[in-house]
Amino acid sequence: MIAHIKGVLTYKSFDYAIIDVNGIGYQIFIPLTTFYQLPEVYQTVSLNTHTHVREDALKLYGFFTVKERDLFQLLIGISGVGPRLARNILSGINPDEFYQAVVDGDTNKLHMIPGVGAKTAKRLVVELCDKVKGLWTEEPVEKKKTKGIVNDVVSALLNLGYKPSDTEKVVDKLKDEVNDDSGFEDTFKKAIKIIAQKH
């Protein structure tokens, strides 16, 4: 089992990256969240990996964070969720947002992820509710409410192609300004301004 790879990034795309380790190029399939954090080609990179073995293939899946890899492994353990769909899910929602949707039973949010049907969304909530609590500590209810709108804005920014590093700055700026009465549109406009100021 290959759990970690460090080497020189020789190729990257939305679908996969190739990392050269001592002259051997490893093709590693990645979600979009990882793609946006990759360095420039020919720079050193380190990824947490999952080795997926089938009778007719052996594939590596890479993730920038252990949390993403752990979630990927939970997802592929669910009936009807293979590596491709699991990767799509990670591309459409970050682990913390996924956790929030699952513990809140928010099947509508999960259903918005490309490739996730209504039945699959319900299955994700039912089968993963207890398991994700083993990976992430649940926040107090009052913090969940105030973070909800920020999570929606961050998800929208990621779907529009903004980098996770940009959204982290947005969260730091907005967390003290957003409350239960904040609307998505106004919060989203504030987020765009924050990102523009950073560039």
- The DSSP line for 51-68 is EEE-SS-EEEEEESSHHH
Contacts of 17 (CB under 8 A, 6+ apart): 9, 11, 27, 28, 30, 34, 35, 38, 45, 47, 62
* Residue 148 near residue 81 (C-beta atoms within 8 A): no
Residue-level pLDDT, tens digit, the chain, 199 residues: 688 899 999 999 999 999 999 999 999 999 998 999 999 999 999 999 999 987 777 899 999 988 899 999 999 988 889 999 999 999 988 888 898 889 888 999 998 888 898 899 999 998 888 787 666 554 444 444 445 667 777 777 777 777 766 666 676 676 666 665 667 777 778 878 877 775 5
* Residue 62 near residue 49 (C-beta atoms within 8 A): yes
CA distance 2 to 178: 42
Beta bridge partners of residue 12, listed in sequence order: 17
Phi-psi region of 47 (alpha: psi -120 to 50; beta: other; left: phi over 0): beta
As given in the structure block, the two tokens for residue 90 are 């990670």
Q: Which CATH class is domain 66-133?
A: mainly alpha
Which one-letter amino acid corresponds to residue 5? I
* Residue 114 near residue 85 (C-beta atoms within 8 A): no
CA distance 85 to 70: 15
Q: Residue ranges per domain, the chain? A: 4-63, 66-133, 141-198
Q: What is the pLDDT of residues 71-103, one digit of tens each?
A: 999 999 888 899 999 999 999 888 888 988 898
4-63 falls under which CATH superfamily? Answer: Nucleic acid-binding proteins (2.40.50.140)
Length reported for the chain:
199
Contacts of 7 (CB under 8 A, 6+ apart): 19, 20, 21, 22, 26, 44, 45
CA nearest to 121, candidates 91, 95, 85: 85
* Residue 46 near residue 53 (C-beta atoms within 8 A): no
